[in-house]
Amino acid sequence: MADLVDIFASAVGPIVAIAGVGYVLATVKDVDPEPLNTAVVYVLAPALVFHSLAVTELETTTLLRVAVGIAAFTAVMWAIAEAVGRIVGEREPALSGLVLVAIFCNSGNLGIPVSDFAFGEIGRQTAVLFLSVQSVLMYTVGVYVASRSSGSAGLEGVRRVFYIPLVYAVAAALIARSLDLVPSPETASMETLQLVGEASIPLMLLILGIQLARSNTTTAVSRAWPATALKLGVAPVVGLGIALLVGFRDPTVARVFVLETAMPAAVTPLILVIEFADGSRSKGIPVSEYVSTCVFLTTVLSIPALTLVIAILQSGVVI
């Protein structure tokens, strides 16, 4: 028990505290998270991604293994979510909402800081890589899933991937590494990038708290449990199996990979269903409300769940 308390205090507690500040702020002030989110998406997160990948100690083969692992995790969870959704009687558009919740993890405003606190610099670098690959999948696979119930027109939204600075930050960092053009970490340019990038972590957590405070969870809770069980119960097991199959050479990378798959539902799927399935209802409940409820439940319940997962991973029992 003492170990769990220590892990919570060192790895999860700081996350809860900062997100809690955002939650309280949104309850006492009418805070619009959109400008903050724009700053993160277009400035802070790209700086974090570029700097982390440019100076990462991870080998190129490790980067490729992480990318393959994320693609495999997404495919397996998609298949499981489709099957479970149909078994419990979900139909479009709620079925697409369930799939989105199951396959995409909150690897950004929760995954990066938790991995950083739990596993240090390698944890942060691995989490940033996870976020980078998943961001591309969100705006390709995610757009397809969100739009499939309303026809093929929504698939044009896949082009949005080319407007995401994160994609170009990843490409620029990898090209700079391959050509040996990365400036020294001590140069003013790299220190500036690091400073800007590190600012994204507390801001991500504040945004998470604000978004949770703005979620309406009263009417869709009873229907959100299958998705919640998939996200918090099944996903980490699938992530562990894939980590073992991929065979990461660095055990810390493998543990962070599993930890990222254990994260609660990402917020981006909510944005996708609002845009591509806006107004759609399932059994009288708007699909956006269904997804926001899943995000809220998985995030709240992930606090004790992540503490347990970190304890298991740090013990080295499973990987």
Is residue 65 over pLDDT 90? yes
Q: Answer yes or no: is 272 within a domain.
A: yes
Q: Answer yes or no: is 43 within a domain.
A: no
DSSP 250: S
Q: Is 279 exposed, middle or buried (0-12, 13-18, 19+ CB in 10 A)?
A: exposed
Please indicate whether residue 150 or residue 99 has the higher confidence score (pLDDT): 99
Q: What is the CATH number of the domain that holds 9?
A: 1.20.1530.20
DSSP secondary structure string for all residues of 270-292: HHHHHHHSTT-EETTEEHHHHHH
Please indicate whether residue 83 or residue 210 has the higher confidence score (pLDDT): 83
Q: Which residues pair with 285 in a beta bridge?
A: 282
Q: Answer yes or no: is 180 within a domain.
A: no
CA distances from 43 to 37, 56, 107, 165, 198 (A): 10, 20, 18, 8, 11
Both tokens of residue 91? 């139909």
Q: Answer yes or no: is 178 within a domain.
A: no
Q: Answer yes or no: is 190 within a domain.
A: no
SS3 265: strand
Please indicate whether residue 223 or residue 309 has the higher confidence score (pLDDT): 309
Domain count, the chain: 1
DSSP H stretches of helix in 29-140: 33-39, 45-55, 60-87, 94-103, 111-138
Q: Answer yes or no: is 115 within a domain.
A: yes
Residue 220's pLDDT is 61
**Mean pLDDT computed over 1-10:** 66
Q: Which of 312, 170, 292 shows the shortest CA–CA distance to 236?
A: 312
**Mean pLDDT computed over 54-80:** 91
Average pLDDT for the chain: 84
Q: Is 125 left (phi over 0), alpha (psi -120 to 50) or beta?
A: alpha
Report pTM. Answer: 0.82
Residue 219's pLDDT is 57
Q: Answer yes or no: is 187 within a domain.
A: no
**Mean pLDDT computed over 155-180:** 77
* Domain hosting residue 142, numbered range: 2-30+65-162+200-315
Cα separation, 291 vs 211, whole angstroms? 13
Which of these ranges, 110-124, 146-160, 186-200, has the smallest mean pLDDT? Answer: 146-160
Q: Answer yes or no: is 176 within a domain.
A: no
**Prior bond of 93 cis (ω within 30°):** yes
**Mean pLDDT computed over 21-44:** 87
Confidence of residue 274 (pLDDT cuts 50, 70, 90): low
Confidence of residue 230 (pLDDT cuts 50, 70, 90): very high
